[in-house]
Amino acid sequence: MAEVSILNYGIGNTGSIVNMFRKLRVAASVVSTPESVSEAKRLVLPGIGAFDACMDALQRSGLRDSVLEFAAAGRSLLGICVGMQMLTLGSEEGDMPGLGLIRAYTRRFPALAGLRIPHMGWDTVRWVIPEHPLAGNLTHDSRFYFVHSFRVRCESAANSLAVCAYGGEFSAAILSGNIAGVQFHPEKSHRFGLQLLNNFSTT
């Protein structure tokens, strides 16, 4: 059985994520059925594009309930980019509800003079909970690759694993028990992304 399963619901960079785990010599597979999700040890929920499009695709794939059941079983779930936003209660980008696994909201970046939207490129994150397993061997100067026009704000600071400053501080990584998400793309973040994915593979 693969150590990590990447969910294929029609949206997301599944191939790039699999390749990163291969570099780490971690057995990874792409899954697309309720049965394969139920058998997974660890699950990655990728997402790119618009929030509603991702939520709609997840619903139409018949895998939404499988993701919720996986999370309820206490196994490790990692959302990436829009996949992280999908873990929240909802997004100002659309009308569909999120999975509601973490009490947080996805909001637009503020309209500030000189602030370019989307937030795109390399940026530094600050680990609010540096002792968390996902943050292992990642220092406060670790840099990740971002591409997003909406940002996540948690209801409770206890759910914010890492923050980034761009038009104000926002959550670059969130968590609640066995559930976590990262706004950046670890599969595009070279050695820092490899370290984070390696950390996830051992949670």
Instruction: Please report, for the chain, the start and end positions of each structural domain, with discontinuous segments joined by +.
Output: 4-201
Active site annotation includes 185 = yes
Q: Which helix (H) or strand (E) holds 4?
A: strand 4-7
Residue 177 makes CB contacts below 8 A (sequence gap 6+) with 74
d(CA 160, CA 84): 12
12 neighbors 58 (Cβ within 8 angstroms): no
Of 92, 119, 187, 190, the catalytic one is 187
Check if 35 is active-site: no
pLDDT digit string, tens, across residues 181-193: 999 999 999 999 9
Query: Tens digits of per-residue pLDDT, 62-80?
Result: 999 999 999 999 999 999 9
Topology annotation, domain 4-201: Rossmann fold (3.40.50)
Residue (of 2, 31, 151) closest to 84 by Cα position:
151
Among residues 81, 119, 154, 164, the one annotated as catalytic is: 81
**What CA–CA distance (Å, rounded) separates 25 from 69?**
28
Is a pLDDT exceeding 80 seen at residue 12?
Answer: no
